[in-house]
Structures are given as structure tokens and as C-alpha cells.
Amino acid sequence: MGVVTGLLLGAGLCLLLWSWTSPPPAARRRARWSDDVADLLVQAGAPGVTPAGLVGTSVAAGVVTLVLAVALLRSPAIAVCFAAMATAAPHALVRTRARQRRAALRTVWPEVVDHLSSGIRAGLSLPEALGQLGTRGPVELRPAFQAFAEDYRVDGHFSECLDALKARLADPVADRIVEALRLTREVGGTDLGRLLRTLSAFLRADARTRGELEARQSWTVNAARLAVAAPWVVLALLSTRPEAASAYDTPAGVGVLGAGAACTVVAYRLMARIGRLPEDARVLR
């Protein structure tokens, strides 16, 4: 009986210690959101912008739009709607830019893998094969590999330089390549060339399939976006007439705007979810 009591007491103390030392769920969610936004900014080609800077830009855009809309339209209800759109615009722009850049890089990753495979077959070391991509690799990725070569020349720690390279690229394909090179460096092996050739063939097939699917659904997505934007363009044109703008400041007008905004958000989110192709997640971050 004493043994059972001691075990239960020890388990309780361990649970208490774990609850005290673990970060709260809200902090974990904030950290995950910050990491996701930081990756999105890197993928969009703006690594110098922080998540806090993006939030500040969104808030500033919303406030400026609100002030200008109130001054020009004389309708607070309509001004709030356009201010909300302006607040969401920077994040939407970053997501669009990141998606376009990922699509562009999807076609050059096989070339990166081929360069690595050729360098390794030629007898180059792993750091040298990665460093040469800074001069011979795809133009879009040369700065990241040049920074890797400079980091390796400075401190010579291959694993830490790989971590910095992963942070600069923020791409699932780069994570796979980096972890394969790290594993080969640490434990050795002769299958790296075969692994890289298989990965290159898979990336080419994936890019070809995605290109066909995106080409087929692009007109549907563009039509849906036009349908979402059209009512608000009409509202902006109607707001130039004072009597039309003042009608939306009544309770009924506010209700119409609220219902229209809700329908717009739900319809756009539904369209995006239906037409979204599966994206690789950074599981090896």
C-alpha cells in the first residue's frame, strides 16, 4: 500500500512540475502563429519584415483607410467596411506573393537537386556542393546558398549552417534536402545519390501535375474572386452619392452591410477551401 501511495504522490508531483514548466496554450499558439507568419514572409521574398511589422502595417492601413473613407464618403458604416478590407489586405498580399513564389520555385527545385547530385558524384564535399549553388544554382536561390557558403567559411559548423539555410529558405523541399544531407554527413552512407535522383523525379512529376491542375481551375478561381469583389466595387461607386451613402448609416443599412460582409467572407473561404490544392507542410522545421 505504501508503494502505491508513493507512486501516486510521485506522479502527482511530476504532473504539477510539468504544468508549471510548460508554456501556456495561448503562448504556444502565439509562437506557432509567429513562426507560420515568419515562414510566409520568407516565402514571399520579404525576410526582413517581422510578424509584428506585418501586424502594424495592417493596423496602420486600416486606420488610414477609415479616416480617409469617413472624410470622403461621410458614412461611418461604409468606412468601417473598407477599413476592414484594408486591414486584411497586407496579409492577403503576402499570402498571394508567397503562393506565386512557391509556384515559381517549384520548377527550379529539381535543378537544385540535380546540381547537388552532380557535385557529389564529382567528388565534392557536402559543404562545397551546397556552396557552389550560390554561383551555379538557380538565380532565385543563389543568395541563400551564398549566405550558407559565407557562414561555413566563418565558423565551419555544418549543422548550424544547415539550420540557418533552412530558415532562409523556409520551404518543405529545402527541409528534406537539408535533412538528407545532415543525415549523410553524420552517419555516412552511399544512398545519397539515389535519394537525390528519386527526389528530383518526384519533384518534376509533382510540378507537372500541379501546373495542369492550376491551369484548369485558374479561370474558376478568378471568376469567383471577381464575383466577390463586384458588390463592393458597386458599393464604392454608390457611396459617391451623398444620399446613397447616408442610407447605409441607418440600422437597416448597417444590417445589409453586415449580412453582405458575412456572405462575402463565407463564400470566399468556401471557394478557397474547395479549390485549394494540398500544400506541403514544414514537418522538418
Task: Please tell me whether residue 232 adopts helix, strand or coil conformation.
Answer: helix
**In the predicted model, what is the mean pLDDT of the chain?**
82
Mean per-residue pLDDT, 177-182: 84
The pLDDT of residue 90 is: 92
Q: 34-52, pLDDT tens digit by residue?
A: 888 888 888 888 888 889 9
Own/partner pairs, 105-111, CB within 8 angstroms, 24+ separation = 105/140, 105/141, 105/171, 106/203, 106/206, 106/207, 106/210, 107/207, 108/138, 108/140, 108/141, 109/171, 109/173, 109/174, 109/203, 109/207, 110/200, 110/203, 110/204, 110/207, 111/137, 111/138
pTM over 0.85: no
d(CA 165, CA 175): 9
Q: Give the side-chain half-sphere CA count within 13 A for 221.
A: 13
Mean per-residue pLDDT, 64-86: 89
The pLDDT of residue 72 is: 86
Q: 132-160, pLDDT tens digit by residue?
A: 888 888 888 899 999 999 988 888 888 88
CA-to-CA dists, residue 179 to 81, 115, 176, angstroms: 46, 17, 5
Triad 214, 220, 224: Cα angle to 5°: 125
CA-to-CA dists, residue 173 to 33, 206, 223, angstroms: 21, 12, 31
| 3-state percent helix, strand, coil for the chain, nearest multiple of 5 | 85, 0, 15
Identify the CA nearest to 275 among candidates 210, 231, 229: 210
b/e sequence 62-85, b meaning 16+ C-beta within 10 Å? beebbeebbeebebbbbbbbbbeb
Q: 197-233, pLDDT tens digit by residue?
A: 888 888 888 888 888 887 777 777 788 788 888 888 8
Best-predicted range by mean pLDDT among 77-86, 238-247, 276-285? 77-86
What are the helix and strand counts (H, E) for the chain?
A: 13, 0
Mean per-residue pLDDT, 82-105: 89
pLDDT greater than 70 at residue 19: no
- What angle in degrees, to the nearest 10, is found between the helix axes of 251-275 and 192-238? 160
The pLDDT of residue 33 is: 77
d(CA 64, CA 74): 15
